[in-house]
Amino acid sequence: MKNITKIQLGENGPFVSKLGLGCMRMSSIWGGSTPDQTESIATIHEALDCGINFLNTGDFYGAGHNELLIGKAIKERRYDAFISVKFGAIFHNGQPLGMDLRPIAIKNFINYSLTRLGMDTIDLYQPSRMDNSVPVEDIIGTVADLIKEGKVRYIGVSEITADQLRKANSIHPISALEIGYSLADRQIESDLLPVAKELGIGVVAFANTAEGLLTGEMTAPLPANDYRNNFSRFQGKNLVHNLRKVEVLKQLASKKGCTPTQVAIAWVRKQGDHIMPLVSMSRRSRLPENLAALDIIFTPEELNTLNTTFAPGAILGGTYLQR
């Protein structure tokens, strides 16, 4: 196993790889086809070999398919992997129906997850979103009880407000905050990120390329069957405007001899030692590019160009769906 920079999740939490592997795309998304299982498992194995030990999933990814896949992949390598599981989102036929964060539901969800993953304890367990339907005390308190039962090691949270984060941490120490963060999505810099840093909570940053916008490969308009048409960011004039911004990213990446994706990941990594870029992959061929992003160094001028071009509000539209 290769050496890779580590990040600590929480003041007294575990040390995990600075780059995380998001496994969501290894299962069907929005009712689409399921990627090749053999290649997905091989990707997990190679990621572990490269020192990436943080594997992120959700019990609703592919209606449990994702957890079953990870369970197969790490069956003989349980102690090489740190497993992060989100719960609470309810889907039907690939479409979101809402959230169920009741204590009785959480106690049900955990047992299904443990069975699918083939393990006795989940390393990091977290509600996928808090929608105020259930008091924070009840949600975090229930997961804290699961720690006492030995079913969970650490508590995380995802897609919440700064006030909710403070409240959750006052109930039980929170190790990680999972949240969307990229050059295109910087709204959390004003309140949520400062609170996480103040409380010593690690940040697991997903959607580093903003659903593909920052890869430099997107053109307008998107195909009619592309799931991203559901998001205002990728619709009509918004997409045209946003792609003009991406041209600056492409030019900067070209001058550095790297890809726009690498620049996008490296920028997220640069935002703090407590921040982990979480990169979704389903093919081994993506690993070298994403790992190399950890070694990219920016000049002050390059950072200024990126921060100015992609200042908060510079990208029009969002990628957040109410559910």
- Give the domains, in start order, of the chain with CATH numbers: 6-210+259-296 (3.20.20.100)
61 is catalytic: yes
User: What CA–CA distance (Å, rounded) separates 157 from 165?
Assistant: 8
pTM for the whole structure: 0.94
Enumerate the β-bridge partners of residue 99. Answer: 89
Contact 54, 84 (CB under 8 A): yes
CA distance linking residue 70 with residue 26, whole number of Å? 10
Largest distance between two CA atoms of the chain: 54
And the tokens for 236? 């009509």
Instruction: Give the strand pairing for 15-17 and 6-8.
Output: antiparallel
Sequential pLDDT tens for the chain (323 residues): 567 889 999 888 899 999 999 999 999 876 678 889 999 999 999 999 999 999 999 999 999 999 999 999 999 999 999 999 999 999 887 778 899 999 999 999 999 999 999 999 999 999 999 988 999 999 999 999 999 999 999 999 999 999 999 999 999 999 999 999 999 999 999 999 999 999 999 999 999 999 999 999 999 999 998 889 989 999 999 999 999 999 999 999 999 999 999 999 999 999 999 999 999 999 999 999 999 999 999 999 999 999 999 999 999 998 764 43
> Of 61, 125, 154, 181, which residue is the catalytic one?
61
What is the pLDDT at residue 96?
Answer: 82
C-alpha 153/C-alpha 242 separation (Å) is 41
Q: Report in angstroms the alpha-carbon separations of 147 from 112, 125, 278.
A: 16, 10, 24
pLDDT of residue 225: 87
Beta bridge partners of 180: 206
**pLDDT confidence of residue 317:** 93
Spatial separation of the C-alpha atoms in residues 296 and 5, rounded to whole Å: 13
| Residue 2 confidence (pLDDT) | 61
268 burial level (CB within 10 Å; 0-12, 13-18, 19+): buried
**pLDDT at site 323:** 34
DSSP, collapsed to helix, strand or coil, labels residue 27 as coil
Please choose, from the candidates 198, 122, 192, 134, the residue with its C-alpha nearest in 3D space to the C-alpha of residue 158.
192
Q: Which residues contact 69 (CB under 8 A, 6 or more apart)?
A: 23, 26, 27, 37, 40, 41
- The rounded distance, in Å, linking the Cα atoms of 13 and 171 is 16
Distance CA 315, CA 237 (A): 11
* H helix and E strand count, the chain: 10, 12
Residues 6+ apart with CB under 8 A from 52: 4, 17, 19, 20, 21, 291
Strands 15-17 and 202-206: unpaired
Q: Which amino acid is at 291?
A: L
Record the tokens describing residue 11, joined without a space.
């003041």
